[in-house]
Amino acid sequence: MSDDQAINRDRRQFFGMTAAMASLAVAPGVFLSQVKSARAVATQAASDQNRWGMLIDTSKCASGCNDCVTACNKENGISGIHGTATDAQWIRKVTLRDKLTGYVQSLPLLCQHCENPPCVDVCPTGASMKRADGIVLVDKHICIGCRYCMMACPYKARSFIHEVLDEQKAVAPRGKGTVESCTMCVQRVDANRGEEDKTKHRDPACVEACNNNGHKAMWFGDLKDPNSEIVAELQKHGGQQLRPDLQLNTGVRYQGIN
């Protein structure tokens, strides 16, 4: 398994290099891209200087607590239609029980915002995509609802919308026939980028609720910013990936899973 992946990654790097060399060879292409980047707005696009991530301390996560899920549903307008197994879940609580010792722990599971997302690999239309700042999203304009991404995701983080929806939130368009998952509250992340006053920056709804309700089990921040709180915490106490064997380099890390 891991040998196959190593080969795969090399292949990708090779193709990437070939593409880069080809684009250098085409001089008119270089000129065109200069014309395009002259637009002032392009400077405000999400940048690969950031990588947004989360850290979750499962030892502080109480098994009965559902605050993050409730906050996510409220922010993004996710409500159960029939309370059935097909209702969308952007974040859900998972209980782990060690069969030998009987030790039970609870953790929130959401899109892990992988650096190498399998959902993006398998998408036949390009709807499943990763933004420059590491947030993995679905472009529902071109999603055909094939659900390959749902099968590819090792975390079962994505949901399919089976029925006509109504009363969607303006910040989170969602609809029948498309796949969706956690957006890391991209509307808040983008609002933060436009706001210079850092005290007005807002964490994703789940993190905000967890901290506001005094649990303080979740951190959100820029994994590429050495001064950020999340990086300090990661350096101090570490944070593990779920299924690190898959080498997806997830943007969501966990502490205290054993």
3-state secondary structure of 195: coil
Contact string (CB under 8 A) for another protein, positions 23-52, x = contact? ------------xx--x-xx-xxx------
* Binding residue (CB under 8 A) for another protein from 21, 25, 27, 164: 164
3-state secondary structure of 55: strand
Quick one: 179 exposed, middle or buried, by C-beta within 10 A (0-12, 13-18, 19+)?
buried
> How near is the Cβ of 161 to another protein at its closest, in Å?
9
From residue 206, alpha-carbon distances to 110, 175, 188, 233 in Å are 10, 22, 12, 18
Closest to another protein by CB, 41 vs 85, is 41
The yes or no reply on residue 224 touching another protein (CB under 8 A) is no
CA-wise closest residue to 157 among 50, 242, 82 = 242
- The residues, any chain, with a CB within 8 Å of residue 2's CB and separated by 6 or more, are 245, 247
* Binding residue (CB under 8 A) for another protein from 165, 202, 247, 257: 165
* Binding residue (CB under 8 A) for another protein from 81, 129, 146, 150: 129
Spell out a b/e string for 73-105, using b for 16 or more CB atoms within 10 Å of the CB, else e: bebbebeeeeeeeebbbbbbbeeeeeeeeeeeb
Find the part of the chain contacting another protein (CB under 8 A) among 8-16, 85-93, 167-175, 228-236: 167-175
> How near is the Cβ of 37 to another protein at its closest, in Å?
12
CA–CA dist 218, 65 (Å, integer): 13
Length in residues, the chain: 258
Find the binding residues for another protein in span 48-87 (CB under 8 A): none
Find the part of the chain contacting another protein (CB under 8 A) among 10-18, 110-118, 160-168, 206-214: 160-168
CA-wise closest residue to 161 among 75, 68, 66, 87 = 87
Find the part of the chain contacting another protein (CB under 8 A) among 13-21, 65-73, 173-181, 235-243: 173-181
Find the part of the chain contacting another protein (CB under 8 A) among 5-13, 117-125, 134-142, 217-225: 134-142
In the complex, which residues of this chain contact another protein (CB under 8 A)?
A: 35-36, 39, 41-42, 44-46, 129, 131-133, 137, 139-141, 164-165, 167-170, 173-178, 186, 189-191, 193-194
